[in-house]
Amino acid sequence: MAAERNPLLEDFVFPPFDVIEPKHIRPAFRSLLAKLESDLVELETTVEPTWPKLVEPLEKIIDRLSVVWGIVNHLNSVKDSPELRSAIEEVQPAKVEFQLRLGQSKPIYNAFRAIRESSDWEALNDARKRIVEAQIKEAVLNGVSLEDNKREYFNEIQQELEKLSQKFEENILDSTKQFEKLITDKKDIEGLPATALAMAAEMALSKGHKDATAENGPWVLTLDAPSYRSVMQHARNRSLREEVYRSYVARASSGDHNNTPIIARILKLKLEKAKLLGYNNYAEVSMEMKMATINKAEELIEDLRSASWNAAIQDMEDLENLAKAQDAIEANDLKQWDINFWGERLRELKYDINEIPYLWSSSAQKTDFILILHDLDGGNHFLIFATKKSPFGQANYGYWYLLLAEEDALTAARKTSSFQIEELRPFFSLPKVINGLFNLAKMLFEIDVEPADGLAPVWNNDVKFYCVKDSLGIPIAYFYFDPYARPSEKRGGAWMDVVFGRGSTFSCDGASPRLPIAHIVCNQTPPMGDKPSLMTFREVETVFHEFGHALQHMLTKQDESLVSGSRGIEWDAVELASQFMENWCYQR
C-alpha cells in the first residue's frame, strides 16, 4: 500500500488548508527539517560570497520553513484544537533548534561579511545591500558570536521563550472561552442594541438553550470582542459592565490559565538574553531592528502625554458632567467600566447636536423642556427635548431626544432615547464596506480586487478568497479574508500575515516572479440569520487597517524575497500603510 501523501510537503500554488490535519504535522516536520538540515550542510560546504552561491540557496531554506510553519501557525490561530496544540508542542523544539542552527551559521555569516567588505559592495543595488546588512545584524542578534557555554545557554533561553510564548497565547484563548454569562432577565441587559441581543441569543442557542431569541432570551454574553464591546458601550446595568470588564482584564491571570508567572519568566529570560549579547536590557536588543532609539521612543511618549493631558482631563470632566446630568450614581466616581458607556452617550449627544440643523423655539430656556424645531430636507419637523438640568448651549447636555413633533413627548422619548451610533450598522454591511474599500483601492492604486472563491482551498466556509489585478487585468497578488469572530477556535484581535512573498527565486517559469499571497483575519460581528454582517464603525476601521498591511505586502514590485512586501521593514514603520488606509474611513 502506498504511503499516505502529506499535504504539508506537497508542491502547491495555494496551501491545501482544507485537508491539513493535526496528524500531518509531526511527520511533515520530521521530513522537512531533515531535508533542510541536509540543504544547510550543503550550503555551508559550498558557500561563496556571491548571490547565486549564498543568498539564493539560503532564500530557499528560509522560505520553505517559513511557509510550512506559517501554515501550521495560522491554523493554530484560526482553528485551534487540543490535537493541533499537541502536535505543535511536539515539533516546536526541533523547529527552533534548526532556526538557531541556521541563524548561528558562521560560514553563512562570514560570507555575508565578505560581501559587505568586498570591492563589489557599491555595485549592489539598494535591495541587496539591505539584505546583506540585515542578515549580518540578525546573525549577531541570533548569537552567532557567542561561544560554547554562552551559546548553549542562549539556545536554551530561546527554546524556553518559544514554549512560554505559545503557552501565553493558549492561556489567553482558553480563559476568554471560559467566561460565559447567562442572562434570563431582559432588564439586566437593557440598553444593548438589537445586533448584540441577536448575537447573544445565537450564542445561547449554541450552548443548548433551544428557545433563545433576541427578543425574549435567554442570552449568553462572552468576552469575544463584539460581545464585550457592546456591553461596555451600551449596557445600562453598571454591575454587569463591572463584571464583564473585570473578567476581561483579568483573563489568564489566575487558576489553570495563569500568565502571571509566565510574564515574569519571559521578562527574566529576555534580560538574560540581552546581557549575553552584550546589551544592558532587552529594549536595546529590540531597537537594533527598528528605526527609533530608546531615547527617541521615550521622547515621543512624553510628547504624546503632554499634548493629550489637558484634553484627557476635559474629556473626563465632560463624562462626569453628563453622568451627573443623568443622576447616575457613579457620576462622582467613574470607574474603568463606566468610561466607554458614558463616552458612547456623549458621542450620541454630540452627533445629534452637531449633525442636525436646528432653529431655536421662542420658549427655550423657559420651560421644563427645551423645544427645538427642525426642518430636514423635506419639511419633516422634529423636536429635541432635554431637562433644565442640562440647558442647551452648555458643554454638557445630558440626553437629547430626537422625535416626531406629533408624538407624545414621553412615548417618543422612550422610543428614541436609545438612538446610538449602533444605528449606523445597516449602512456598514460587510458587502457595502468591502465594495467601498475595493473601489478606493482602485482609485488610489489602479488595481482591481475580484472574488476568486473556489480557486484556493480555505479553512472555514466563511473565508473569502480574492485576486488582485493590475490595470491591464494581470494578476499580481492574492489574499484570504476571514472576517468573523469564532470564539471556540479563533484567537482575538485582527491581523495580516504572509503566506507567500513575492520573489524571483521561486519563479515557476523562470521569468515571472512568484506572486505574493496574504491572509487578513478579523473578529467582527458575524451575520445574523439572513442578514449580512452589520459592522460598527470601529470594525470598518479595522478592515481598512488590515487591508493596508496586506496592500503593502501585495503591491510590492521588489523581486528579492527577503525584502519584498512587508518583509525586511523596520517594525516601527510597518504601521504606516495600515494607518494610511484607515484614515480614508474619515474622508468625506
> So which residues are the catalytic ones?
546
- How far apart, in whole angstroms, are the C-alpha atoms of residue 471 and residue 310? 48
Task: Write the secondary structure of 284-344 as one string of H (helix), E (strand) and C (coil).
Answer: HHHHCCCCCCHHHHHHHHHHHHHHHHHHHHHHHHHHHHHHHHCCCCCCCCCCHHHHHHHHH
Rounded Cα gap, residues 17 and 15, in angstroms: 6
Whole-angstrom Cα distance, residue 337 to residue 250?
13
Q: 324 with 342: CB under 8 angstroms?
A: no
In 3-state terms the chain splits into helix, strand, coil percentages (rounded to 5) of 55, 10, 30
Q: What's the rounded Cα separation, in Å, for the pair 194 and 321?
A: 28
Q: Which residues contact 346 (CB under 8 A, 6 or more apart)?
A: 318, 319, 322
* DSSP string of 457-475, one letter each residue: --SSTT-EEEEEE-TTS-E
The three three-digit cell numbers of residue 584, written as one number: 480614508
Q: Three cell numbers at 196?
A: 448584540
Q: Are 339 and 238 in contact (CB under 8 A)?
A: no
Which amino acid is it at 116? R
Q: Which three cell numbers stand for residue 229?
A: 464591546
Element (H or E) spanning 385, and its range? strand 380-385
Cell 457595502, residue located: 432
* DSSP structure class, residue 57: H
Q: Residue 103: phi, psi to the nearest 5?
A: -70, -25
In 415-528, DSSP assigns E strands to 448-451, 464-469, 475-484, 495-500, 517-524
Centroid of chain to Cα 586: 20
C-alpha cell at 96: 527552533
Q: Is 563 helix (H, G, I), strand (E, B) or coil?
A: helix
With both helix axes pointing from N to C terminus, report the angle between 194-206 and 225-234 in degrees, rounded to the nearest 10: 140
Phi/psi at 382 (5° precision): -130, 160
Is the separation of the CB atoms in 476 and 468 below 8 Å?
Answer: yes
CB atoms under 10 Å from CB of 535, counted, come to 26
